[in-house]
Structure 1
Amino acid sequence: MTEQRPESRGRFWPILFAVIGVLALVDYFYKSSYELSGLLKGVGFLLASPQAYFHPTEFTKPLKVRNFKPRLSNVTDWLALVGAVLLMAGIIVEWL
């Protein structure tokens, strides 16, 4: 019998992304100005949090050992991509 090692799941980053996303959405709805940048950044962080849970980045390995393969095969990969685009759009809208 071979022992299967369970997949590592992220703990810190998904919680941080979810908290930042919720705070940005609360800030968006709490202010009377309804700035679009807060909404975009909040939704972007919330969409990126599942990817941070299912596929955490390992910062302990040297850069040469890490395996960076772009993949868009899972739903969480697409959510993270859309979340990153919304996050960048929120930052751009805030600067304008």
Structure 2
Amino acid sequence: MSKSVINFKVDSEIKRQAQELAQELGVPLSTVVNAQLKQFLRSRSFSVDDSPVMSDELEDILHQIERDRKTGRNFSPTFTSVDDIFQHINKSS
């Protein structure tokens, strides 16, 4: 298979991050780009997935909140009136 060179502009930070990730995965960035181009040709379509990805720190925080919710820890009771809220606050102080 003969090779061709494609020149296109890419945001410098995107290129740096993509190169780092490809290196972590043990492949050159050109392999990633070739795989995406082949997928584009096979499917005759492309999709963009901009789903937010939670950081490990945020996932840990959410797991802690879920544990607290299940055990009733760090959660206030429900209130039916403003007076009940102030009574709870004053009792907690």
Q: Bin the TM-score by the shorter chain.
A: under 0.3
Calculate the TM-score normalised by the size of structure 1: 0.23
Calculate the TM-score normalised by the size of structure 2: 0.24
Q: Which has the larger radius of gyration?
A: 2
